[in-house]
Structure 1
Amino acid sequence: MVKKKLKRRGRKAILPSVAIEDLQAALVAETRPHVRKRLIGLRAVLSGASQAEAASLVETTTKAVALWLRTARRSGWQTLMRRSSGRASRLRLPDAERDNLIKCVQSALSSELDASARLRLQAMSRILQGERPVAVAEAMHVTPTSVFGWLRRLRKEGVAGLQQHIPVRQPCIDADSSELRHLATRERNTQVRRALLAIALLAEGESPHATGLLVGGSDKTIQRWLGAFREGGVEALRRPVHLGRKTLLSKAQKAELVTFIRANPWLSNRELWALIRQSFGADYTTGGLTRLIKHDLGFVRKQGRFVSA
């Protein structure tokens, strides 16, 4: 009981010179999401919450809350309203320059723009206000590679560079992406639908890696779909793919074995193994032979003889 009281008293004494009323007044006037997150976390700690509870409240890490507390102790809580913590914006710009960029982006967004330019400017506006580039990419359904490319263009050319037309890379396949997307909406098979969307994205100029991130597939899967489409078109994407190991016996050899087992049901597993090895040159393990008999040939052993499963 004594330990709990000391712990609570210690939380309140973390920042004795900071009043919760001051934080509340700052929150009323503050609009930047990343600054509001810091002030809310600081207010929660001063109200008696632990650092872990404050981190959970504002959806961040305990390490970030501890950093905010150290900054407030050393330089005052007002510092949290001026400085960026961590690598949230990736721009590392002075406050005056950042505010000027935000005004320029907002002014550009109020003018007439095509859809792609508006998307780029909206992403940069969110990043300048403190959101992480990866989170912005996920929220706006674009790849992180695209967002970081827009950031580099913003550094070099400013807001005007984002308003210009950015040429799309040369597609790695020549196909009608609108037709592929239309086929994908009508496709019932989830795997085929993903493959059609992947080919449509590749035809629009996306890289295989970015396409994999968008449709949920590895680089190897995207390359396999691309190769199948080049070889046989849309129908090749609908063919079932068997990625397992090839069987040791062909269909004709299995059919011959079925006929032989039906004529000799009292055959033992060892005799069957010797027959397969001598006739077809296939050397099965004990488990492999059992799976062959049951799953491929359709027999089970009952009372010492083979019967149909």
Structure 2
Amino acid sequence: MSFWKIGLKVALASGLACGAAAGAAHAQGAACKEMRPLKIGVAVVPPNVVHTTPYVAKELGLFEKHCIAPEIIAFEGGASAALSAALQQGEIIANVTDIMVGNGMKAHQVWGFAPKLPQSYMVSAEVKTPADLKGKRLSAAGGGVGGFNWRMGRAMLADAGLTVDDAVWVSQGLAGRLPGLLTGQLDGVSLHPEDVYLAQKQKPELHVLSVLAEKMPDYVFNMYGAADSMIARDRPLLVDAMAAMIEANRAMYQQRDKVVPIIAKATEKPEEAVRAAMDVLTKNCVWAVNTGFDRARMEWTAENNVEIGDIPKETKPSYEQLVDDSIAREAVAKAGGEAEINGCKI
């Protein structure tokens, strides 16, 4: 079976280079008046392949090129209380969702780094249809009730007219998703493509019940954002940071051999699994090569979250209340302008 029915050369001119070596450090002093600190949140420990954009940007020197000293901080789930608190305090950029904004967070999305769902919902051998999930142990990793894995499991149950009360929910660390399925502690879990690859390699009877991007093609996955206070205070810094990460995303499409070792180190996954995941992610345009924003997709996702009760209807954010796309547009210009790579152009 398939995983969704299965370069960029970094040009750091001598006058712009901000490297660590002595010559690069001298160039850095000439080009950068200061290295500006920036905390960047990642929703998984260790990150999945799809989340590695800031790691690639850091290792390729793209943040340094834009005079940024990044600090990458991994959290246990995009809905974690620690991540939400850091966002609200204006201390970090991280995934900002319509649910957060609809429930009162004063923040905007500034770049859609991975607008499409990368995962598949994988199940044990005895689960043949969504109806078979009744009474089964489903993952609520990374945030428990209300977290991403819980919401994806809820969507699977709904296909059979079941509710969250019809399953047994297992809260765990995100790193326990794949081991939980392999050891039989879980019967259903949302897995990223590298873990789908590893699961089927280690236990072939495990299978994909649903490719989530096919089930919910307009569902918005991951958008970098910041508190409104941070946007007002550090807008030029955010533009430069998004430009660095746009360049990193483009490198992942165009310089695979160069970035695979970086991603393997960050994710702690074998290079063969990383390559399999990258096949899925690049083929299906999961990583944005431009702003990553699409008004229709954003509006569908917000309305869907109202319908399932994650956002009060009266506080559903409009596109403008959720997105500051001017930052992403400026970042795209700094990254060399609009691009289309292998048919991907969002």
The TM tier, using the shorter chain, reads under 0.3
Give TM-score scaled by structure 2 length.
0.22
Q: Which has the higher strand share?
A: 2
Which gives a bigger RCO, structure 1 or 2 (Cα 8 Å, sep 6+)?
Answer: 2
Q: Which has the higher helix share?
A: 1
Give TM-score scaled by structure 1 length.
0.24
